[in-house]
Amino acid sequence: MSNDPRDICPRPELPHAHHGEPLVPPLELSAVYRMRDPDEADVVLSGAEPGYVYARDGHPNAEALAEKCRLLHSAERGAVCASGMGALAAAVLALAKSGDEVVLSDQLYGKSVQLLKSELARLGISAKLVDTSQLSDVAHALQSQPRLLVIETISNPMLRVAEIPELATLAHAQGTKLLVDNTFASPVLCQPLKWGADLVLESLTKMMNGHSDVILGFLGGRVELWDRIPGVISTWGLAASPFDCWLALRGLGTLAVRMERAASNAQSVAVHLSLHPDVVEVHYPGLNAHPDHAIACRLLKGGFGAMVTFQLRGGRPAATQFIRAVADSIPFAPSLGDLSTTLSHPESTSHRGLSPEERSHLGITGGTIRLSVGIESAEGIIAALNAGLRAIAG
Ligand SMILES: *Cc1c(COP(=O)(O)O)cnc(C)c1O
């Protein structure tokens, strides 16, 4: 080693720790890994032995996070991507090609519809939307033997719960693979692969990381569908960064307790709201009145999730008043799965791209508010909601 400050290379050897391993996985930011010689490059790049070469193809923090998520879903294979959308793109780019068709639930996340309908159309992959709560409509749509059926465990914002086992059976009868976006449920509530799905997707951005400080996605699935997925993630540039993976792995440590608490709070909030005169309707799978309550009891474990949607009697003006009145305790932030309670207004955010007719078909009005219930005390959340409801009445 020279002591000339301009000599950056070779870097100093790090002192080797003979005793004591870090309890917390280290954050390894290196974009590239050094090789001893061409023989080592051969061994790693041929896949004969595990190892890292270039972080777009894999790095320790992504591997640790993917492994944790894979286990949570009992998936044979798993990979993380730079976002939930990246994970969805990886799945379709790996499994579908020009001339293929995909069928999607008409209640899918807006950006997912945009990707699967508009973007894929440019690549010669066509998409058909279907109301997946109507199994006969789904059976009809699958007659054309599409590559993929894409659904969500719990939909946004009406929180419809998908009949995953039935949909898997219908799909498999036509040789179609079932991809389930499980973001609103998380593996704590539901593990779609156990109910017959072929692929599962999580936006780790939401409940899984749980702290609103990371954008990341996970794709898990069966080994026979996995051939092309790692290559697609690398070549299309969908890989995740080490720091994001490190944060999300930390977030996952508390996933189960967060989900349990948020779901219990959400149940109390849903019951409370359903008794209020200024609330026309409450959508929560844990309520008897929810159209999918029976399915939810069967498929969801440990609660019915953190999301509660409700309609204010006074429409858009009431929603605006309510949102302004609760802003200090419940921020209007169009995402979900944070530690604290947030709310969204689908008409002006997630569903603004739809026509008024399409929105009303889904049941979304100007008075629709979607809550992402956090892990505060249930009493505190209910007090904040009551203050908002008083502001409308007054
Ligand atoms: C947020 C979200 C996505 C997209 O995930 P990103 O991490 O934001 O790319 C996909 N599906 C659902 C249901 C989501 O809520």
| pLDDT tens string 290-318 | 999 999 999 999 999 999 999 999 999 99
Question: Is 80 exceeded by the pLDDT of residue 159?
Answer: yes
Q: Which residue has the least CA distance to atom 4 on ligand 1?
A: 84
State in Å: Cα 116 to ligand 1 middle.
14
Contacts of 175 (CB under 8 A, 6+ apart): 145
**What is the residue whose two structure tokens read 């990246």?**
86
Question: Is 70 exceeded by the pLDDT of residue 243?
Answer: yes
Residue 127: phi, psi to the nearest 5?
-135, 145
Q: What is the pLDDT of residue 1?
A: 59
Model confidence at 20, pLDDT cuts 50, 70, 90, reads confident
- Give the number of other CB atoms < 10 A from CB of residue 299: 23
Ligand 1, atom nearest to 88 Cα: 10
Q: Which residue has the least CA distance to atom 5 on ligand 1?
A: 84
Question: Is 70 exceeded by the pLDDT of residue 92?
Answer: yes
Q: Ligand 1 site: residues with CB under 6 angstroms?
A: 83-85, 109, 111-112, 152, 156, 181, 183-184, 203, 205-206, 215, 217
Task: Record the tokens describing residue 137, joined without a space.
Answer: 């409509």
To 10 degrees, what angle do helices 378-393 and 255-274 make? Answer: 30
264 DSSP β-pair partners: none
Q: What is the pLDDT of residue 19?
A: 81
State in Å: Cα 21 to ligand 1 middle.
36
Question: Is 80 exceeded by the pLDDT of residue 10?
Answer: no
Question: Is 90 exceeded by the pLDDT of residue 133?
Answer: yes
Decide: pTM greater than 0.85: yes
Residue 64 CA to residue 161 CA, distance in Å, equals 30
Q: What is the pLDDT of residue 354?
A: 87
Q: What is the pLDDT of residue 16?
A: 64
Contacts of 231 (CB under 8 A, 6+ apart): 94
State in Å: Cα 203 to ligand 1 middle.
5
Q: What is the pLDDT of residue 13?
A: 65
Model confidence at 33, pLDDT cuts 50, 70, 90, reads very high
Mean pLDDT, residues 281-292 taken together:
97
Best probe residue, ligand 1, of 92, 205, 350 (max atoms within 8 Å of C-beta):
205
Ligand 1, atom nearest to 184 Cα: 13
Ligand 1, atom nearest to 108 Cα: 13
Q: Which residue has the least CA distance to atom 15 on ligand 1?
A: 183
Q: Regarding beta strands 307-312 and 279-283, do their DSSP bridges make them parallel or antiparallel, or are they unpaired?
A: antiparallel
Ligand 1, atom nearest to 86 Cα: 9
Classify 37 in phi/psi space as left (phi over 0), alpha (psi -120 to 50) or beta. beta
Question: Is 70 exceeded by the pLDDT of residue 15?
Answer: no
Ligand 1, atom nearest to 336 Cα: 15
Mean pLDDT, residues 12-16 taken together:
63
